[in-house]
Amino acid sequence: MGRKEVLTGKAKFGIFGDGKELPQLAMARAFKNGDFRSGYYRDQTFMMALGLLQPKDFFHGLYATTDMEKEPMSGGRQMGGHFLTYSLNQDGTWKDLTKQKNSSADISCTAGQMPRLLGLAQASKVYRKEKGMDNAKFSDDGNEVAWGTIGNASTSEGMFWETINAAGVLQVPMVVSVWDDEYGISVPAKHHTTKEDISKIIAGFQRDGDDKGYELLKVKGWDYTALMHAYENASDIARQEHVPVIIHVTELTQPQGHSTSGSHERYKNDKRLEWERDNDCNKRFKEWILESNIATSEELDELEKRVKRTVREAKKEAWTEFLEDNISTKKRLVQLLDAVAAKSPNKTFLSKIKNDLIAVEEPTMKDLAVASRKALRYLLGESSAERKALIDWTQNFLTKVQPKFSSYLYSPNENRATNIPAIAPTYDQNAENVDGRVILRDNFDQLFQNNPNALIFGEDSGTIGDVNQGLEGLQEKYGSTRIADTGIRETTIIGQGIGMAMRGLRPIAEIQYLDYIFYAMSSLTDDLATLLYRTKGKQKAPLIVRTRGHRLEGIWHSGSQMGGLIHLLRGMYILAPRNMTQAAGFYNTLMKSDEPALVIESLNGYRLKEPRPTNLGEFQTPIGVVETIKEGADITLVSYGSTLRIVQQAAKELLEIGIDAEIIDAQTLLPFDIKQDVVKSVQKTSRLLVIDEDVPGGCSAYLLNEIVEKQKAYRYLDSAPQTLSAQSHRPAYGTDGDYFSKPNAEDIFEKVYGILHEANPDDYPKLR
């Protein structure tokens, strides 16, 4: 029936769970309150079996109804077949997750559910081990299992293997089901899997007497008794022993093709098609019911009829509900158009718009917006009350409708990161000057003391206390669960963070160097950055990603790819502190908020001296606020991170020849300068240069856009606004490589001088 809705044009796309139903029933039986699912688009039966999804909800998902009450899976933001449960109350606070069955919000990217699954499972382990944590709403002594589902073809993805290895190492309560129908859309197993059998190639993960590992189970997808046993067994092993389990469910089918985009007759031969008809799990389940005398054939026929009727009614109701608001809104708009047409010299054109709209029997919000906005063009210059009414209506309509599609990119709640107030660091009169990394370390010490649910993990973060000693000694103090080493596997480090943050922990996931964050980019951009948005505020993952970057040396240790990051990670906060005190303050702020962020410490700043604050763990660097670090009258220089120190150097040299630059530290790139302070500086100096070490047109272009267009600084400029960035290539190694790849003090001096020369060649004659 769902398929038909797409073929008749009511829905755009449909993807269904057919052929995979039976193992999902078995999984649902083993799934307990507090457990989490991280799965993919085939899991509709599982969701329905647990009462988490109703037939009507499913049709609303197909139609993309924007009302969350009607389309509870995403309010129309995701295609149907993407499932979730609600972890949050309306005000963003946690529900009691131990009292409900939980499904983390799906994403379309195949295997993208795997890294998050690792973290969801690890949370149980952390809660069981760490008795001092606040687990009230999240865990009953770590007895919760995280259940993953994945298609056979998607096990080819790197994310699958990285997750499987990491969960084996960590020994977490994770049960992964592989739904194996021997295809990935049209492509058969021989192109996906060595030996065409995932069980054969994961055999080495099997635990044995000597080594910890996995419990591996293989079961046929049409064999209900075997499935029930497998799932009960898996649940016990994972729940009690915290040993991960993989269940390879074989001999599944895909009766109507992958999705509504194509039919499987195109790529399966007659023999396979016949086998699928004979062995479809529903068909064999029915045979088993009859053989076992659980029900009679008549009873099952009756049941099928009843189910069909229920689904048909759900479909009809959903379509009526999808349309009802638009139909009443259309009536009102037609009245307004009629009224404006009656008086206007453009009556013919306006009547046509009105009649065309009347002819649309199943109007979308787009139809309504197009009609009203086009009509206004024919009313230019008229001043009737009817025109005013149409303008007001259009304005109200757009204001009402836009949030349906755009809300919840960031939290609207009280503890939104930008609402956390600034608290300045305080200093003794003779404050000691210490290495920046000491400030970070001592602040982290306080932070872990103050936040029992906080933990940090990454490559070399545990025993040695990170590669720059910002966590020195903390593992000894807080234990190896809270201050932990991980394998070299950036994607699942982020996955650990996402999953644990979704279960009430406050993880800080450390990516050793900024240049290596790109391994984890998919999980960051597809999963973490979209979570609040794609769930319309029903799930959150307040994960802090800690990394270090900018200016060190060489192609892979001095990247500053901020343009890429700020564009891919909308939905997160991106902070580039100039020193370790600012960085520490950001961590303190973020711990008070419930949103995800990326903090990039300045790689060459750990050994620079900073005065030691007295209120470590307390002071808070505000998010979205720039800081003027030198006042000046002649030009505004905006920069951030390591580059800022070079800007300061250049500014000193400029002052020697009488050019007084104002320097502003952007410091929070997403969001940038919400109080619009930079334009006030430009108003004073009337010149603007943005300097960073990203590629040309990268973050500097974004900042220019923010300042010139959004803050309207163009009104005050007497010189062309400019950017100064690194070369387009990656930075070359060595002192000279750095000097000739990234903006240096001479570049900045000459660029500023050039701007003043152009404005006033008499005072500033040509330099060279």
Ligand X SMILES: Cc1ncc(C[n+]2csc(CCOP(=O)(O)OP(=O)(O)O)c2C)c(N)n1
Q: Of 25, 27, 31, 42, which lies in the binding site for ligand X, with binding defined by CB under 6 A?
A: 42
Nearest one of 730, 697, 718, 555 to 636, comparing CA atoms: 718
Residue nearest to Mg ion (CB): 151
- Which listed option, ligand X, Mg ion, none, makes contact with residue 24 (CB within 5 to 8 Å by class)? none
- Which listed option, Mg ion, ligand X, none, makes contact with residue 463 (CB within 5 to 8 Å by class)? none
Query: Of 178-186, 539-547, 603-611, 746-754, which part binds ligand X (CB under 6 A)?
Result: 178-186
Sign of the dihedral through C-alpha 252, 256, 260, 264: positive
Nearest CB to Mg ion, comparing residues 153 and 532: 153
φ and ψ at 629, to 5 degrees?
-105, -10
Say how far residue 41 (Cα) sits from the centre of its chain. Answer: 18
Nearest CB to Mg ion, comparing residues 181 and 692: 181
**Contact in structure between 178 and 166 (CB atoms under 8 Å):** no
User: In the block, which residue shows the tokens 């490559």?
Assistant: 459
Q: Of 65, 152, 579, 667, which lies in the binding site for ligand X, with binding defined by CB under 6 A?
A: 152
Q: How many Å is the maximal CA-CA distance in the chain?
A: 102
Six token digits for residue 211: 């080594």
Q: Which element (helix H / strand E) includes 102?
A: strand 102-103
Give me the least distance between CB of 152 and Mg ion, in Å please.
4
- Which listed option, Mg ion, ligand X, none, makes contact with residue 154 (CB within 5 to 8 Å by class)? ligand X
Would you count residue 194 as binding ligand X (CB under 6 A)?
A: no
Give me the least distance between CB of 14 and Mg ion, in Å please.
17
Nearest one of 70, 105, 74, 71 to 87, comparing CA atoms: 105
* Cis ω for the linkage preceding 671 (within 30 of 0): yes
Give me the least distance between CB of 35 and ligand X, in Å please.
22
Would you count residue 181 as binding ligand X (CB under 6 A)?
A: yes
Residues 243-302 that bind ligand X (CB under 6 A): 254, 258
Distance CA 212, CA 437 (A): 37
- Which listed option, ligand X, Mg ion, none, makes contact with residue 42 (CB within 5 to 8 Å by class)? ligand X
**Contact in structure between 22 and 224 (CB atoms under 8 Å):** yes
Contacts to Mg ion by CB under 5 A: 151-153, 181, 183
User: In the block, which residue shows the tokens 């990516």?
Assistant: 511
Q: How does DSSP classify residue 238?
A: I
Say how far residue 279 (Cα) sits from the centre of its chain. Answer: 39
- Which listed option, Mg ion, ligand X, none, makes contact with residue 108 (CB within 5 to 8 Å by class)? ligand X
Give me the least distance between CB of 107 and Mg ion, in Å please.
17
- Which listed option, ligand X, Mg ion, none, makes contact with residue 258 (CB within 5 to 8 Å by class)? ligand X
Give me the least distance between CB of 19 and Mg ion, in Å please.
9
Question: Would you give the binding string for ligand X spanning residues 660-679, x where CB under 6 A is met?
Answer: --------------------
Reported residue count of the chain is: 768
Nearest CB to Mg ion, comparing residues 151 and 624: 151
Six token digits for residue 5: 């809705």
Would you count residue 521 as binding ligand X (CB under 6 A)?
A: no
Give me the least distance between CB of 632 and ligand X, in Å please.
50
Give me the least distance between CB of 151 and Mg ion, in Å please.
4
Q: Which element (helix H / strand E) includes 232?
A: helix 224-236
Would you count residue 109 as binding ligand X (CB under 6 A)?
A: yes
Strand 573-575 to strand 668-670: parallel, antiparallel, or no bridges (unpaired)? antiparallel
Nearest one of 97, 44, 115 to 311, comparing CA atoms: 44
Neighbouring residues of 52: CB distance < 8 A, sequence distance ≥ 6: 83, 85, 101, 103
Distance CA 62, CA 265 (A): 24
Nearest CB to ligand X, comparing residues 498 and 597: 498
Nearest CB to ligand X, comparing residues 193 and 648: 193
- Which listed option, Mg ion, ligand X, none, makes contact with residue 535 (CB within 5 to 8 Å by class)? none
Nearest CB to ligand X, comparing residues 42 and 125: 42
Q: Of 151, 499, 577, 731, which lies in the binding site for ligand X, with binding defined by CB under 6 A?
A: 151
Give me the least distance between CB of 613 and Mg ion, in Å please.
56
Give me the least distance between CB of 108 and ligand X, in Å please.
5
Nearest CB to ligand X, comparing residues 79 and 502: 79
- Which listed option, Mg ion, ligand X, none, makes contact with residue 110 (CB within 5 to 8 Å by class)? ligand X
Residue nearest to ligand X (CB): 151
- Kindly give the interhelix angle for 365-377 and 297-343, rounded to the nearest 10 degrees: 10
Q: Where are the beta strands (DSSP E) in 378-485?
A: 433-435, 454-458, 483-485
- Tell me which of 557, 567, 729, 757 is the catalytic residue: 557
Nearest one of 610, 558, 674, 21 to 283, comparing CA atoms: 21
Would you count residue 530 as binding ligand X (CB under 6 A)?
A: no
Would you count residue 221 as binding ligand X (CB under 6 A)?
A: no
Q: Of 32, 33, 165, 185, which lies in the binding site for ligand X, with binding defined by CB under 6 A?
A: 185
Q: How does DSSP classify residue 572?
A: B
Six token digits for residue 694: 């990203």
Establish whether 242 is a catalytic residue. Answer: no
Would you count residue 179 as binding ligand X (CB under 6 A)?
A: yes
Q: Of 153, 417, 531, 682, which lies in the binding site for ligand X, with binding defined by CB under 6 A?
A: 153
Q: What is the DSSP string of 695-717?
A: -TTSHHHHHHIIIIIIS-GGGG-
Compute CA distances 425 → 420, 449, 535, 582, 586, whole Å: 15, 18, 37, 9, 12
Nearest CB to ligand X, comparing residues 109 and 300: 109
Binding residues with ligand X: total (CB under 6 A): 15
b/e code 541-554 from CB counts within 10 Å (16+ = b):
bbbbbbbbbbbbbb
Give me the least distance between CB of 300 and Mg ion, in Å please.
28
Binding site for ligand X (CB under 6 A): 42, 108-110, 151-154, 179, 181, 183-185, 254, 258
Active-site annotation, residues: 557
